[in-house]
Amino acid sequence: MVTPGSGPAPGSRVLLGEIVHFSGDPGDDPQSAAIQHWSDGALWIERGRVRACGARADVLGALQSDPAAAATTIDDQRGRLILPGLIDCHLHYAQVGIMASWGRQLLEWLQNYTFPAELACAAADEAERRAAFVLERLLAHGTTTASVFATVHPHSVDAFMRQADRLGLRMLCGKVMMDRNCPPGLRDSVATNRHEIPRLIADWHGRGRLRYTLTPRFVPTSTPQQLELAGEWYAAVPDLHVQSHLCENAAEIDWVRTLHPQAADYFALYQAAGLAGPRTIYGHCLHLTPRERAALRDTGSAVAFCPTSNLFLGSGVLDAVSLLDEGIAVGLATDIGGGSSLSLIRTLAAAYQHSQLVGRPLAPMRAWYLATLGGARALELQAMVGSFQPGCEGDCVVLDWTAIPELDWRVDQAVTLAERMFALAMLGDERCVHATYIEGNRVGALRVHA
What angle, rounded to 10 degrees, do the helices at 154-167 and 124-140 form?
Answer: 40
CB of 310 to Zn ion, least distance (A): 11
Pairing of strands 241-246, 280-284: parallel
Name which of 284 and 410 has its Cβ closer to ligand GUN.
284
Please tell me whether residue 179 binds ligand GUN under the rule CB under 6 A: no
420 binds, among Zn ion, ligand GUN, none (CB under 5 to 8 A by kind): none
The distance of Cα 43 from the centroid of its chain, to the nearest Å, equals: 23
Find the binding residues for ligand GUN in span 213-242 (CB under 6 A): 217-218
248 binds, among Zn ion, ligand GUN, none (CB under 5 to 8 A by kind): ligand GUN
309 binds, among Zn ion, ligand GUN, none (CB under 5 to 8 A by kind): ligand GUN
Please tell me whether residue 420 binds ligand GUN under the rule CB under 6 A: no
What is the distance between the alpha carbons of residues 202 and 212, in angstroms, rounded to a whole number?
A: 9
Q: Which H/E stretch holds residue 302? A: strand 302-305
410 binds, among Zn ion, ligand GUN, none (CB under 5 to 8 A by kind): none
Q: Exposed, middle or buried: residue 76 (CB in 10 Å: 0-12, 13-18, 19+)?
A: exposed
213 binds, among Zn ion, ligand GUN, none (CB under 5 to 8 A by kind): none
334 binds, among Zn ion, ligand GUN, none (CB under 5 to 8 A by kind): none
Please tell me whether residue 245 binds ligand GUN under the rule CB under 6 A: yes
CB of 395 to Zn ion, least distance (A): 23
Please tell me whether residue 144 binds ligand GUN under the rule CB under 6 A: no
176 binds, among Zn ion, ligand GUN, none (CB under 5 to 8 A by kind): none
Q: Which part of the chain contacts ligand GUN (CB under 6 A), choosing from 35-43, 106-114, 256-264, 416-424?
A: 106-114
What is the distance between the alpha carbons of residues 184 and 229, in angstroms, rounded to a whole number?
A: 21
Pairing of strands 396-399, 330-332: unpaired
Name which of 170 and 245 has its Cβ closer to ligand GUN.
245
Candidates 335, 393, 400, 439; binder of ligand GUN (CB under 6 A) is 335
Please tell me whether residue 92 binds ligand GUN under the rule CB under 6 A: yes
Please tell me whether residue 114 binds ligand GUN under the rule CB under 6 A: yes
Candidates 88, 128, 248, 429; binder of ligand GUN (CB under 6 A) is 248
Name which of 38 and 115 has its Cβ closer to ligand GUN.
115
Q: Exposed, middle or buried: residue 89 (CB in 10 Å: 0-12, 13-18, 19+)?
A: buried
Provide DSSP, 166-180: HHT--EEEE-EE--S
Name which of 148 and 385 has its Cβ closer to ligand GUN.
148
Name which of 218 and 437 has its Cβ closer to Zn ion.
218
Name which of 258 and 413 has its Cβ closer to ligand GUN.
258
What is the distance between the alpha carbons of residues 160 and 172, in angstroms, rounded to a whole number?
A: 10
Tell which residue, 129, 95, 127, has the closest CA to residue 114: 95
Beta bridge partners of 214: 242
- DSSP class of 367: H
Name which of 227 and 404 has its Cβ closer to Zn ion.
227
Rg of the Cα trace of the chain?
A: 21
CB of 10 to ligand GUN, least distance (A): 39
Please tell me whether residue 309 binds ligand GUN under the rule CB under 6 A: yes
Q: Which H/E stretch holds residue 140? A: helix 124-140
Q: Which H/E stretch holds residue 16? A: strand 12-22
For ligand GUN, what does the binding mask look like between residues 156 and 175, x meaning CB under 6 A? --------------------
- E-strand ranges in 318-420 read 330-332, 396-399
Sign of CA dihedral 26, 31, 32, 37: positive
Name which of 73 and 101 has its Cβ closer to ligand GUN.
101
What angle, rounded to 10 degrees, do the helices at 417-427 and 405-413 form?
Answer: 160
CB of 6 to ligand GUN, least distance (A): 35
Provide DSSP, 209-277: TEEEEEEE--GGGS-HHHHHHHHHHHHHSTT-EEEEEES--HHHHHHHHHH-TTSSSHHHHHHHTT--S
Name which of 148 and 161 has its Cβ closer to ligand GUN.
148
Residue whose C-beta lies closest to ligand GUN:
338
Interaction site with Zn ion (CB under 5 A): 283, 335
Please tell me whether residue 153 binds ligand GUN under the rule CB under 6 A: no
Name which of 375 and 428 has its Cβ closer to Zn ion.
375
Residue ranges binding ligand GUN (CB under 6 A)? 92, 106, 110, 114, 217-218, 245, 248, 309, 335, 338
